[in-house]
Structure 1
Amino acid sequence: MNNERYLRCVKSLSFFTAIIISGPAMSAEKFSVAEDQIQALGIKVSPVQSMKQTVSSRYPGQVVVPPKAEQIVSSPLEGVVVQLLVGEYQPVRKGDPVARLSSPAMSQLQLQLLQAASRATLARQAYSREQTLFDEGIIPKRRAQEAQATLKEAEATLVQTKAELALAGLTPPMMEQVVRSGIPSDRIILTAVQDGIVSAISVRPGQRVDGATSLLNITQVDALWLDVQVPSQASIGIQPGAPVTIVDKNVSGRVINLSPTVTADNQFVVLRAEIENPGRAIRPGELVTVEIPVQSAGNSWDIPISAVARNKADSVVFVRTPEGFEARPVKVEASAGQLVRVQGNIREQDQVAVAGVIALKGAWLEEDGE
């Protein structure tokens, strides 16, 4: 007797499978399944529970360098690259020398500095002498005022010359050394203004360069950006500040903003996230997979992925009833591993089929006359 019942169940399952292949449209309704068929076909149910795990969606992304994280070291004046003091991909600290240039324009500026410093010194001495004579009533006030105006002009010229030298890369201690020694130099030492990695070198020793020519790039890699491609429909529930995680890497961050426009060719939105990268586990330009938690909307539940039956674009779950089961349409919001988040007419503690779903789908379609 048991063998005959088993054969009938196997025939029913084969018939159900043949029906599934035909792919008819689904509808939400109840259908009967006998208790012995439930046991024979291995149908198991599990109660629906409130969301206890995080379901995330995965999207492709690329690591990019924020504009504020990249420094371009350029030649302040026309000259010749004498020596590169760093190599490509070498880490540097703020203030480290990175290149040495020789520039006749630098020696000319230092000569102007010496001349301006000498004029300022003479003007200061002349004003002090004229002011003393005026205080003693020996000379008129006009002469003291003229000496004061000459001193202000000389000091303004000195300040301007120092500003030009500062733009050329000369520090105040270097300027004081030039003034004390009285010997101008054509040497320019360029330094890094931030910690980072030498990401690119654009010149070679012996090369002649003009002013503002890019010599090398220094990039900070401890804080980077992610540009993530997200479907426009899925981006609706993502807000700035939402957490993001790079798959297979111990790196996470937060969403900064989303593009206000949708790309015309693929209807995707570019999401930008900021990530901390202290261990340098990721590199600029790297293509990665990013996980973003799905925000729940409405009546959402997390259930095993095996509980969802699909037919083309439709999804349905089978809820246990006293007479058998009821097929209820659901909308799949996201899936992660063996878990899927759905939205639909499901209540907590509903008994949802998690095994034998294919057989139930066949029984449901047979009951519907398909």
Structure 2
Amino acid sequence: MNFSIRRALGAFALLCLAPSSVLYAADTFPVTAAQMKALGITVQRLDRPVDIRGPIYPARVVLPLQQEQVISAPMAGLVDQLLVDEHQTIVRGQPLLHLNSPEYGEQQLRALEAASKSRLAQAAVVRERKLFAEGIIPQRRVFEAEAAASDAQARVRQASGALRLAGVDGAAIAQLIQSGVLKDALVLHSKGAGVVVSIEAKPGQRVAAADPLIRVADMSRLWLDIQIPAERANAWARNGQIVVVGRKATAKPLSLGAVVGEGQMLILRAEVTSGADQLRPGEFVQAQVPLAGTRGAWTLPLAAVVRQGGQAYVFVRTAQGFVAQPVEVVASSGPSVSVAGPLKAGDQIAISSVIALKAAWLGESGGE
């Protein structure tokens, strides 16, 4: 609408709404039903507020570091047999591979020797205590035997700890000490449930200590790294629910990156709260991020909103006329706009000839 038409509408509104020479500059001003009809003013009744889902941003599915485990070689040896395949779902404690290692045999032997010496030392303590009780030996001999038994037991614990670091569980160590039978191959087990994402070793391959063999990922917990423009760093709802577009998956915001990356983008990290089985680490998806302050927003035609001094207003029908109500524009799409403010269901909002109402509200000197 050009300036001359707007000025004519404003003048006509003043003539219709102000029978005297008084102009209304207050937020509330009278308008009769006849005047509304003459100006072509129509209203829309508010039904109920809606939640604005917010804009859509690109996101990448990320596996948290603590959700991935690397099964590495506890000692040098030869990979004898693989017991799992890539992409296989496994459970906690499941056997993964056999590793033949001379060092494993030496560790078992040290554990057996330590256990044997510990048994002898304990027997010596029993004998020395009996001799002391009969007055045959001094008490010093008892103390020396007890110290030797304590040292022998410490060596047993040390040898058992080395086997545990190699991946042997406590039950297997106890069975080894009890039976005295050495095992040829070390069986490596999974430390937790998950999916085998990669196998780094092959049967017959020689590996060194600490070489990665198998990678297992627990995908029950995933993150989304969402790219949002830096200028909208504070526009997202801290407690809102993020929706992954096209998937039955949702997430909750965790943190906002402190450094602006390429393209003036920030990373909003969110934790997937439902539908993690719909996502795969590394894939790119679209995430709909709710805006801050959009709960209880109202959808209106774009023409219903006017601006004055940088503030958005809508005109609410009252018993006497209209009141200019300040609102916040939270979203806009095509011919519609979503606003938030002190509005309620049942309010009647002017949606046409709003320029005439604004002119009547401000007077001739108040037009933009």
- TM-score of the superposed pair, with normalisation by structure 1: 0.74
Find 2:189's aligned residue among 183, 191, 203. 191
Range with greater deviation from structure 2 (186-195 or 143-152): 186-195
C-alpha change, 1:252 and 1:339, in structure 2 (3 Å) is farther
Q: Does 1:104 align with 2:102?
A: yes
Q: Does 1:302 align with 2:303?
A: no
The residue that corresponds to 1:3 in the other structure is none
Q: Does 1:272 align with 2:269?
A: yes
Offset of 1:265 from its aligned partner?
A: 3.1
8 Å CA contact 2:128–2:142 kept in 1: the answer is: yes
The amino acid of 2:289's aligned partner reads: I
The amino acid of 1:272's aligned partner reads: R
Offset of 1:121 from its aligned partner?
A: 0.6
Offset of 1:293 from its aligned partner?
A: 2.2
Instruction: Output one character per residue of 1:165-199: Cα deviation in whole Å (capped at 9) or x when no partner.
Output: 00001112211222233232231111111111111
C-alpha change, 1:244 and 1:73, in structure 2 (3 Å) is same
8 Å CA contact 2:52–2:297 kept in 1: the answer is: no
8 Å CA contact 2:250–2:275 kept in 1: the answer is: no
The amino acid of 1:136's aligned partner reads: E
Offset of 1:217 from its aligned partner?
A: 1.3
Find the aligned partners of 2:141 and 2:279 in 1 and give their Cα distance.
70
The residue that corresponds to 1:290 in the other structure is 287
The residue that corresponds to 1:218 in the other structure is 216
C-alpha change, 1:285 and 1:30, in structure 2 (3 Å) is farther
Q: Does 1:52 align with 2:49?
A: yes
Find the aligned partners of 1:267 and 1:339 in 2 and give their Cα distance.
29
8 Å CA contact 2:51–2:294 kept in 1: the answer is: no
* Correspondence list, 1:76-225, <5 A: 76-225=74-223
C-alpha change, 1:37 and 1:184, in structure 2 (3 Å) is same
The residue that corresponds to 2:360 in the other structure is none
Find the aligned partners of 1:179 and 1:345 in 2 and give their Cα distance.
78
* Structure 2 spans left out of the alignment, 5+ residues: 14-35, 355-363
Q: Secondary structure at the match of 1:223?
A: coil
8 Å CA contact 1:57–1:336 kept in 2: the answer is: no
Find the aligned partners of 1:253 and 1:144 in 2 and give their Cα distance.
67
C-alpha change, 1:114 and 1:318, in structure 2 (3 Å) is closer
Find the aligned partners of 2:82 and 2:350 in 1 and give their Cα distance.
69
The amino acid of 1:286's aligned partner reads: E
8 Å CA contact 1:55–1:336 kept in 2: the answer is: no
Q: Secondary structure at the match of 1:176?
A: helix
RMSD: 4.1
C-alpha change, 1:344 and 1:71, in structure 2 (3 Å) is same
Q: Does 1:70 align with 2:68?
A: yes
Range with greater deviation from structure 2 (327-336 or 101-110): 327-336
Instruction: Output one character per residue of 1:292-321: Cα deviation in whole Å (capped at 9) or x when no partner.
Output: 2222289x95224654799xxx99888599
8 Å CA contact 1:78–1:105 kept in 2: the answer is: yes
Find the aligned partners of 2:62 and 2:271 in 1 and give their Cα distance.
10
Find 2:247's aligned residue among 222, 226, 249. 249
8 Å CA contact 1:126–1:147 kept in 2: the answer is: yes
The residue that corresponds to 2:27 in the other structure is none
The amino acid of 1:303's aligned partner reads: T
The amino acid of 1:353's aligned partner reads: I
Range with greater deviation from structure 2 (230-239 or 184-193): 230-239
Offset of 1:234 from its aligned partner?
A: 2.6
Find the aligned partners of 1:123 and 1:251 in 2 and give their Cα distance.
63
C-alpha change, 1:332 and 1:277, in structure 2 (3 Å) is same
* Structure 1 spans left out of the alignment, 5+ residues: 1-15, 21-25, 358-366
8 Å CA contact 1:31–1:326 kept in 2: the answer is: no
